[in-house]
Amino acid sequence: MSPTHDKHSSQGLLQAQVDLWHHTLGFVKSVALRCATELRIPDIIQHHGGSMTPSELASKIGLHPSRLPHLRRLMRVLTVPGIFLVPEVASPDNEVSYGLTPTACLLASCDEVRSNISPFLSLLLDSTFTAPFFGMHSWFLDEHSTSMFKKAHGLNFWEMAEQDDTYNQLINDVMVSDSNFLMDIILREYAGVFLCINSLIDFAGGHGGSARAIAKAFPQMKCTVLDHPHVVEGAPTSDHVSFISGDMFKYIPPADALFLKWVFHDWGDEDCVKILKNCKEAIPPREAGGKVIIVDMVVGSGPNMRV
């Protein structure tokens, strides 16, 4: 074996080890992001004019000086993937200062966005949500278990929300914060989709964040939210949106259009087909203006996703 080949082979092995470390420790990025959000770092930097040195940041958070080196490390974990900014040229005294990228702005109360979406991060990085993933291997080996969440908690995600008021409130708040953010963009980019609709049901619409935004943009439209009774009960009242409780697998009241945001990805193919059949029964035919409007993520739309 030539020395060059040998060297490449050693480099290849070391690179493979580094790759493995990156994948193994990938969770550190998530928990660092959660920590920064819990310490309200994006908000603090935003309120300080958009840029702060580590010592300014540490003092504003109220950290003991001994934590300053650790704060620098935390911020390094989050500047490398581009969540916070560090200027390319250091200041004369060699002090870095941290700024907000558009990503970090989503976690702060910035003027550019109507709502910060940090509640979503809190829900997804809460141990109730993450712990079931640590049982993935035993779930694979248990053919009778329907979901990892149910295997870990004895209840599925929505049953947990029904039984635990705090969790229910957290989910509903998260969805409203997401709707406040996303509906601005949807109504700006795709307003045409909502034209000529007299009645719309925000289907599995939670506390009606989306319905409220649609009703505000199209005041002549009759907007209704349908969701579980325990969700609808806690929804804030509105003059422009009405709420009804029901089960989307059983009956959907008639309307010109049904709006489903972040619903289908929660369900398997068979359940999605059931929901879509119910949707079809609730709306007029396409020629008469019936519409199902879906906002969701699509698997297979990006590169390298054909698996």
Contact range with ligand SAH by CB under 6 A, out of 43-51, 106-114, 200-208, 297-305: 200-208
**Of the candidate residues 19, 38, 159, 247, the single one contacting ligand SAH (CB under 6 A):** 247
Whose Cβ is closer to ligand SAH: residue 63's or residue 272's? Answer: 272
Binding to ligand SAH by residue 214, rule CB under 6 A? no
Provide, rounded to whole angstroms, the least separation between the CB of residue 157 and ligand SAH.
8
> Which position among 41, 194, 201, 261 is part of the footprint of ligand SAH (CB under 6 A)?
261
Alpha helices for the chain (secondary structure H): 3-24, 26-38, 41-47, 54-61, 68-79, 102-105, 118-124, 127-130, 136-141, 148-153, 157-163, 165-189, 209-217, 229-232, 269-282
Segment lying near ligand SAH (by CB under 6 A), choices 10-18, 85-93, 101-109, 224-232: 224-232
**Residue 251 in contact with ligand SAH, rule: CB under 6 A:** no
Q: DSSP secondary structure string, 8-77?
A: HHHHHHHHHHHHHHHHHTHHHHHHHHHHHHHTTHHHHHHHTTSEE-HHHHHHHHT--GGGHHHHHHHHHH
Residue nearer to ligand SAH on the CB measure, 106 or 231: 231
Q: How far apart are CA 33 and CA 142, in angstroms?
A: 33
Distance CA 188, CA 143 (A): 45
Interacting span for ligand SAH (CB under 6 A) from 35-43, 140-148, 198-206, 214-222: 198-206
Least Cβ distance, residue 230 to ligand SAH (angstroms): 8
Instruction: From 61-69, 144-152, 201-209, 216-224, give the range in contact with ligand SAH by CB under 6 A.
Output: 201-209
Q: Tokens standing for 233?
A: 């009960």
Please give the structure tokens belonging to residue 238. 């509105």
Residues 6+ apart with CB under 8 A from 228: 158, 161, 162, 245, 247
Query: Could you say which of 105, 139, 227, 290 contacts ligand SAH (CB under 6 A)?
Result: 227
265 is a catalytic site residue: yes
Q: According to CB under 6 A, which one of 104, 231, 235, 252 is a site residue for ligand SAH?
A: 231
Which of 8, 22, 47, 265 is flagged as catalytic?
Answer: 265
Q: In angstroms, rounded to a whole number, what is the distance separating the alpha carbons of residues 179 and 262?
A: 10
**Is residue 206 part of the contact set for ligand SAH (CB under 6 A)?**
yes
Cβ pair 123, 172 in contact under 8 A = no
Q: Kindly list the catalytic residues.
A: 265
Give the binding site for ligand SAH (CB under 6 A). Answer: 158, 175, 178-179, 204-206, 209-210, 227-228, 231, 247-249, 261-263
